[in-house]
C-alpha cells in the first residue's frame, strides 16, 4: 500500500504527520504496529480478531435495524411493538413448565416398557 503526503512549501509538517496517522488508523496498520511493539501472542491475536468480528456483527445489525426503522417511518409503515417484559417472562415460564411436563410424561412412558 503506497501512501504519499506532500508538504507544501510553508506547510506544516505536523499536518502531514496527522494525515499519515489518520491513514494508519483507517487502514488498521497503526493498530497492528502497536500490537507488534507489545509482542502480541498468537492467542491474544485470535481473541482480538474474534472480538472485532463480534463487534462488526453487532454494528451491522444495529445499522440494519436503524435502516429498517427509517424505511418504515419514511413510507408510513407500522412496526410491531415489542412485547412487555413481564409478558415475555410469563410466557417463558409457561413454556418451561410445559416442557417439563412433556419430559415427565416421556420418562413415565419409557419406565412403563
Ordered per-residue pLDDT tens for the chain, 113 residues: 566 767 777 778 888 888 888 888 788 777 777 776 677 676 777 888 899 999 999 999 999 999 999 999 999 988 877 666 677 778 888 888 999 999 888 888 877 76
111 phi-psi bin (left φ>0, alpha ψ -120 to 50, beta other): alpha
Direct distance between the N- and C-terminal alpha carbons of the chain, in angstroms, rounded to an integer = 72
Listed in sequence order, the residues at least 6 apart from 16 whose beta carbon sits closer than 8 Å to its beta carbon are: 5, 6, 7
- CA dist 62 and 70 (Å) reads 12
Q: Angle formed by the axes of helices 29-37 and 13-27, to 10°? A: 90
pLDDT score at 3: 67
Residue 47 C-alpha cell reads as 481473541
- 68-106 as b/e: b if 16+ CB within 10 A: eeeeeeeeeeeeeeeeeeeeeeeeeeeeeeeeeeeeeee
pLDDT score at 66: 94
Q: E strands of 19-113, at which residues?
A: none
Amino acid at each position: 500500500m503506497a501512501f504519499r503526503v506532500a508538504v507544501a512549501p510553508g506547510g506544516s509538517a505536523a499536518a502531514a504527520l496527522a494525515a499519515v496517522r489518520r491513514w494508519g488508523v483507517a487502514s488498521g496498520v497503526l493498530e497492528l504496529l502497536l500490537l507488534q511493539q507489545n509482542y502480541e501472542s498468537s492467542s491474544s491475536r485470535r481473541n482480538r480478531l474474534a472480538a472485532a468480528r463480534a463487534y462488526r456483527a453487532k454494528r451491522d445489525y444495529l445499522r440494519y435495524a436503524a435502516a429498517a426503522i427509517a424505511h418504515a417511518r419514511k413510507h408510513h409503515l407500522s412496526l410491531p411493538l415489542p412485547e412487555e417484559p413481564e409478558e415475555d417472562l410469563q410466557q417463558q415460564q409457561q413454556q418451561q413448565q410445559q416442557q417439563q411436563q412433556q419430559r415427565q410424561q416421556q420418562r413415565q412412558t419409557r419406565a412403563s416398557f
